[in-house]
Each structure stands twice: as structure tokens, then as C-alpha cells.
């Protein structure tokens, strides 16, 4: 039963990722902004892969949360929660409103690319830092 649940979530995450690739068309070259457009789309796909990996690991391999008196661990988990919420909204909003930005689109693409990369690195750091209970 556990294998089936893992399979369903992996299949769902892969489907979401494939749909994101189809919608974004990351390697379609834009005439006016070829480099910045590829960067924002590629960085979003890297972010999405990191975010879905983190979600999968949290769903199935997170350590049991027992009442602890460690204030440091509690602060880290609170920081992780705030960071995860921001990591969910910022790149998604950034990729959705990019077409509404006209006058400074190249700068916008590079700024959102930098944010996507920073958030991806933060997610990777949390993935490497958190104690996982692989069964």
C-alpha cells in the first residue's frame, strides 16, 4: 500500500512538471529577449523540481515531530515554514505576471531568475539540512 501511495505522488508530480514544460515552452526563443526569457523559464523549472522534491520528502520522509524544548530547532522549523510559503508564492507569481511587464521586461526576467535561483538554493539547503527518516 505504501508503494502505491509513493507511486501516485511521484506520477502526479511528474505530470505537473510535464505540464509546466508544455505550458512554458522553455526552449522557444523570443526575438526581442532571447537570453533572459530562456533564463527565467529554465530557472523556474529548476525551482519547480526542487520544490516538488522538498514536498515529496516532507510528505513521506519527515521526522516525527515530538514536543521538544529546543528553541533553536523550533526557530529553524518556523524559518522553514515561512521560507516554504514565500518559496511557493514568489516564483509562481513571478512567472505568471511576466507577460504583463512591458517596459522593463529584460530586467524583470533577470530579477525573477535570480530570485528563482536563490529560492532553489534555499530549498536545496533545507533538503540537505533537515533530518529525514528514510525507511
What's the pLDDT tens digit per position in 78-111? 877 888 899 999 999 999 998 888 889 899 999 9
Predicted structure pTM score: 0.85
- For the segment 57-82, the average pLDDT, to the nearest whole number, is 73
Structural domain spans, the chain: 2-129
Round to whole Å and give the CA distance between 37 and 49: 19
Distances 100 to 31, 57, 108 between C-alpha atoms, Å: 17, 35, 11
Amino acid at each position: 500500500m505504501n508503494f502505491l501511495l509513493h507511486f501516485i505522488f511521484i506520477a502526479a508530480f511528474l505530470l505537473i512538471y510535464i505540464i509546466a514544460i508544455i505550458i512554458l515552452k522553455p526552449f522557444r526563443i523570443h526575438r526581442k529577449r532571447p537570453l533572459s526569457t530562456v533564463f527565467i523559464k529554465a530557472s523556474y523549472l529548476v525551482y519547480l523540481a526542487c520544490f516538488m522534491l522538498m514536498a515529496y520528502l516532507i510528505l513521506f520522509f519527515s521526522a516525527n515531530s515530538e514536543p521538544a524544548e529546543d528553541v533553536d530547532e523550533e526557530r529553524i522549523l518556523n524559518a522553514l515554514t515561512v521560507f516554504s510559503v514565500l518559496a511557493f508564492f514568489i516564483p509562481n507569481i513571478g512567472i505568471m505576471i511576466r507577460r504583463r511587464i512591458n517596459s522593463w521586461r529584460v530586467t524583470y526576467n533577470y530579477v525573477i531568475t535570480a530570485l528563482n535561483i536563490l529560492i532553489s538554493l534555499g530549498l536545496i539547503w533545507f533538503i540537505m539540512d533537515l533530518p529525514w527518516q528514510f525507511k
